[in-house]
Amino acid sequence: PKNFQIQGRKKTVSFSSMPSEKKVSSAADCLAFMQGGCELKKIRPNSRVYCRFYTLDPDLSCLRWEPSKKDGDRARLDVSSIREVRTGKSTETFLHNGPLSEQLAEEAAFSIIHGDDYQSLDLVALSADVANIWVTGLRYLLGTLGSKMRSEWLTAEFAQVDEDGYGIVSEDVAVATICKLCPGIKEAKVRLRFMEIQRSKEKLTSHVTREEFQEAYCELCTRPDVYFLLVQLSKDRECLDPQDLRLFLETEQGLSLATTEGCWELLQRYEPSAQGRERGLLSLDGFARYLQSSECQLLDPEHLGVCQDMNMPLSHYYISTSYRSYLLDDQVHGRADLGGLIKALQAGCRCLELGVTDGPEGEPLLGVDYGKYAFLTSQYPLLLYLCQRCSPAQQRTLAQHLKMVFGSCLYTPEALPVSLGGRATTLPSPEQLKGRILIVGKKLPPEQEGSDGEVSEEDEEIGGGGPLEELGVVLVVPPPSQPRNTPMPHEPPYWTLCSLGEGEAGRLTSESPEDLVMFTKRTLTRVRPSSVRLDSSNPNPQGYWKGGVQLVALNQQTPGAMLDLHRGRFSQNGGCGYVLRPAVMRDEVSYFSAHTQGCVPGVPPQTLRIKVISAHNLPKPQGSGAKGEVIDPYVVLELHGVPADCAEQRTRTAAQNQDDPLFDETFEFQVNMPELALLRFVVLDDDYIGDDFIGQYSVAFECLQPGYRNVPLLGLAGDPLPHTSLFVHVAVTNRRGGGKAQRRGLSVRRVGRRGREYVTLRHTGIKVVDEAFKLAGAPLKEAADLREDAQSTTSSFKEQCGLPTVAKLKQCIQSLATRLQSPEGTMGATMVLKDGYPCLEPLVNLSEMTRKLLSAYDTMIGAQKQLIENADAVQERIAQVQREGMDFHEDLSRLGEKEGLKGRKQCKAVESFTWNITVLKVLERKLY
């Protein structure tokens, strides 16, 4: 972070840990800065901007500014008259100042609400950090309870190690105590601080007094980011009571079922001071411990276990797949080792590849016996992909060994067709196949049956036929051999697995994305890395997942971004190795293209806002030759998904900031296909020689928790870096529907109310079908109006309350209650139920601003009432059109031929039909 030099005054304030500078670690530091004064811009409603020098009186009683036309007694604001201090551009002055407000930095703006009429003094600092200092200092002026609790706690901790009771301990004891109280802090950093204290006081001994112990702890272990957040939440007391904590959990952390009793329990668990636990108060250190705990991790704990429906056909799931993980290093010189396969199983892989060749004395060389590891991590089915080149005799021996080793776990689909001519049938589910092992092998064409099964290396040396078929193998079929631009078969053989090379799969995702998705609805499809990847590198799995491919095989022994994404994808269902594919890839009639450049039909886009606040205990890059001990870290945020979602943004570099940098930067992403999106955080070092990688964390978009979150960073091999993390704030809007369609990717046209965009269905060219879909026009328009009116009026109400659109309604009601309360504490309005809806009736004459706020509330309630009372009927009308449209599904080809549609026109008719059905199905589900 930055250093701030106030021109004309020798006053420097910094958040950095450079020894020569004063670190802001308490409210006292903020007050000292304010007493020294600094320049702030005062914003007036008439778009005028005045530069004034603001100071806080030495007795902390009032603010003063100069120059001013008013006399000294009038150019002041008594602290006692301050009602509220708001951050950001949240008042009428900012919101209605148009172009001027847009030029002002959100992070540097704040407002002081004062007086009986709730007037606002709207200010903009030179930077976000200076604004934070003023906001924190003003909010602190009403109380110092938290600082007192902290001092008493540290005194008690010091007393425990002060065996003689003289108020002095050895440096070693002091260092060890601080490292115990603040896990993750580097011992060398603590020792350096005590050396500086010793040097500054010209001490001849290294012993540490209680005061020096507290000074070092507060300087080294106070997180400014957590401190500023605490003060904002704590009614200016530097500590949280159960009610404060409950409001934080509800409004910021998304825990709508939080209770006061649960907050008491949480407080008892994390508050270190006895006084805090007795009084029911969470101090700065307790709050920091809570925010660093597993309860505040970015990954939603619901996803730590299996949380998806596991009763759908096997083809409806992505399956964690390993490729030649028995090889160490590369594909040329790599030695075979069982450890790689065992690690893959422990990591949750559910499809392993085994290389088998003829061996001496009639025994095939399998070199693998790891049955005991098969279900150690996951009980769901394990697929063994046999890459074998064995003679028929050794195939028989191999079959016998597999039967003997796996016994009853070996799955054989008795009474189910397994020939290439078999009719397509629904596959069993992971739940039905729990604890079973499926053998995957290649079936040879009839004219080659009985041979030794030799095939080209391109086909991965998968032998088949003969004895192995007795096991009821899952058959591997080559990719469709039809010419390019010809649709893939929609009725593939039952119980087959289509194996594709990286290049062939890339061509299909590029040239026939819709057909590939249709093909994978019933057929398991696997993609293997290209044979030219001699170094065992990996392709980007996201490119194939978006095409519907279930098994994207990766070299699990090769760390890097591709394997990080793989881990992120499969962490969203308890690490069981199976993740349910998006609904548009499962529904029999649905439209989805891996090329989508905009919205998926009927799926409203979502906005993801991430504020990267800080990083903690960052190590040096692994294996690097960084210059000295100081690192210059920065954070890269990568969003992976459909083409319209792929994006990358980065923070500035925190130069010379060592291991605890503050970033305080906000980034925004639009997510059109949430079920496919992955977010990857990467921390890198700008000051490096060689490897610049510090740590990373990859997570599925669907697993993100809102609010203030701890992101545990992982090393290159995917192992947690001890006590190393990012601190972020996450907000997702339109998570449960809403938003408006973009022009591209979703056929929309501007019509009607306020230039609003409405979804339009596509013409199929089949008259009877188009007539049926035409009936959906009115209910689709009504659905869009109901939903968008509810959203826009809610956003307007939040804006009138001075809150961002991501704020919760409970925050808005709390803000409204503050406005309606008189100085004597009486309320200016009462809430009554009218037809079951909460309405506010004024009890006294209200200011114009408050009347506007009540009007915005009434408008929002009216729009919600319309939505609630009309949604069911609109949904049923949309569902009826969808059902009638589906009646044409089986007959679509005949109806198209009757209209004279052939070739590409016929394909276009089918595409438009599936698009329409998808739009109707999704919108019918997403109205609320």
What is 18-60 written as a DSSP string?
-TTS-B--SHHHHHHHHHH-EEEEEE-TTS-EEEEEEEE-TTS
Contact, 842 vs 857, CB < 8 A?
A: no
Structure tokens at 684: 């890198």
Average pLDDT over residues 848-860: 88
Domain 606-733 has CATH 3.40.50.300: no
Q: Which residue has the higher pLDDT, 491 or 339?
A: 339
Structure tokens at 482: 């039809």
Q: Which fold has domain 314-418+425-444+460-480+489-585?
A: TIM Barrel (3.20.20)
Using 50, 70 and 90 to split pLDDT, how confident is the model at 304?
A: very high
- Looking at the predicted structure, is the pLDDT value of residue 745 above 50? no
- In tens, the pLDDT along 134-156 reads 988 887 775 556 677 888 999 99
Average pLDDT over residues 676-701: 89
- Looking at the predicted structure, is the pLDDT value of residue 744 above 80? no
- Looking at the predicted structure, is the pLDDT value of residue 536 above 60? yes
- Looking at the predicted structure, is the pLDDT value of residue 519 above 70? yes
pLDDT value at position 71?
A: 63
Task: Please list the alpha-helical segments (H only) found in 170-316.
Answer: 171-181, 187-200, 210-221, 224-233, 242-251, 260-270, 274-279, 284-291
- Looking at the predicted structure, is the pLDDT value of residue 444 above 60? no
- Looking at the predicted structure, is the pLDDT value of residue 419 above 50? no
Count of residues for the chain? 928
Q: Which residue has the higher pLDDT, 540 or 254?
A: 540
- In tens, the pLDDT along 235-258 reads 656 788 888 898 899 888 988 778
pLDDT value at position 324?
A: 80
How far, rounded to the nearest angstrom, does the alpha carbon of residue 56 sit from its chain's CA centroid? 42
- Reported as half-sphere exposure (CB side, CA atoms, 13 A), residue 652 has a value of 13
pLDDT value at position 255?
A: 84
Domain 149-296 has CATH 1.20.120.1200: no
Mean pLDDT of the chain: 80
pLDDT value at position 491?
A: 47
Q: Which residue has the higher pLDDT, 471 or 694?
A: 694
- In tens, the pLDDT along 780-834 reads 888 888 888 998 899 888 888 877 776 778 778 877 877 777 655 677 788 888 8
Residue 814 DSSP SS3: helix
Using 50, 70 and 90 to split pLDDT, how confident is the model at 634?
A: very high
Using 50, 70 and 90 to split pLDDT, how confident is the model at 487?
A: very low
pLDDT value at position 105?
A: 87
pLDDT value at position 106?
A: 87
Contact, 168 vs 162, CB < 8 A?
A: yes
Average pLDDT over residues 845-867: 88
Beta bridge partner(s), residue 758: 749
- Looking at the predicted structure, is the pLDDT value of residue 524 above 70? yes
Share of the chain above pLDDT 70, in %: 80
Q: Of 16-20, 39-43, 242-246, 250-254, which gets the smallest average pLDDT?
A: 16-20
Using 50, 70 and 90 to split pLDDT, how confident is the model at 488?
A: very low
Average pLDDT over residues 86-98: 81
pLDDT value at position 23?
A: 59
Average pLDDT over residues 376-381: 89
pLDDT value at position 335?
A: 61
Contact, 350 vs 382, CB < 8 A?
A: yes
Average pLDDT over residues 564-589: 92
Q: What are phi and psi of 58, to 5 degrees?
A: -55, -30
Going 647 to 100 to 611 to 258, the CA torsion angle's sign is negative
Residue 483 DSSP SS3: coil
Domain with CATH 2.60.40.150 in the chain: 606-733
pLDDT value at position 628?
A: 56
Using 50, 70 and 90 to split pLDDT, how confident is the model at 320?
A: very high
Peptide linkage before 67 cis (omega within 30 of 0): yes
Looking at domain 27-144, its CATH architecture is: Roll (2.30)
Q: Which residue has the tokens 């960084």?
A: 626
* Cα–Cα distance for residue pair 46/891, rounded to 1 Å: 67
pLDDT value at position 272?
A: 95
Using 50, 70 and 90 to split pLDDT, how confident is the model at 5?
A: very low
- Looking at the predicted structure, is the pLDDT value of residue 265 above 70? yes
Domain with CATH 3.20.20.190 in the chain: 314-418+425-444+460-480+489-585
pLDDT value at position 494?
A: 58
Using 50, 70 and 90 to split pLDDT, how confident is the model at 684?
A: very high
pLDDT value at position 18?
A: 30
Going 715 to 721 to 726 to 730, the CA torsion angle's sign is positive
Q: Most confidently modeled of 729-743, 765-779, 805-819?
A: 765-779
CA distances from residue 50 to 4, 43, 44, 68, 358 in whole angstroms, order as listed: 21, 7, 8, 10, 87
Beta bridge partner(s), residue 201: none
Q: What are phi and psi of 335, to 5 degrees?
A: -85, 150
- Looking at the predicted structure, is the pLDDT value of residue 160 above 70? yes
Q: Which residue has the higher pLDDT, 416 or 658?
A: 658
- Reported as half-sphere exposure (CB side, CA atoms, 13 A), residue 718 has a value of 20
Q: Are strands 720-733 and 578-580 parallel, antiparallel or unpaired?
A: unpaired
Q: Of 38-52, 82-96, 309-323, which gets the smallest average pLDDT?
A: 82-96
Average pLDDT over residues 266-289: 92
- Looking at the predicted structure, is the pLDDT value of residue 471 above 80? no
Q: Most confidently modeled of 129-143, 470-484, 719-733, 792-806?
A: 719-733
* Cα–Cα distance for residue pair 319/131, rounded to 1 Å: 50
Q: Most confidently modeled of 208-222, 350-364, 839-853?
A: 208-222
pLDDT value at position 659?
A: 78
Comparing CA positions, the residue from 710, 715, 704, 707 lying closest to residue 726 is: 710
* Cα–Cα distance for residue pair 610/668, rounded to 1 Å: 6
Q: Which residue has the higher pLDDT, 843 or 37?
A: 37
pLDDT value at position 313?
A: 92
pLDDT value at position 830?
A: 85
Q: Of 448-452, 535-539, 728-732, which gets the smallest average pLDDT?
A: 448-452
pLDDT value at position 329?
A: 59
Q: Which residue has the higher pLDDT, 223 or 489?
A: 223
The amino acid at 171 = E
Domain with CATH 2.30.29.30 in the chain: 27-144
pLDDT value at position 466?
A: 43
How far, rounded to the nearest angstrom, does the alpha carbon of residue 897 sit from its chain's CA centroid? 48
pLDDT value at position 239?
A: 84
* Cα–Cα distance for residue pair 42/713, rounded to 1 Å: 42
Q: Of 289-303, 739-753, 762-776, which gets the smallest average pLDDT?
A: 739-753
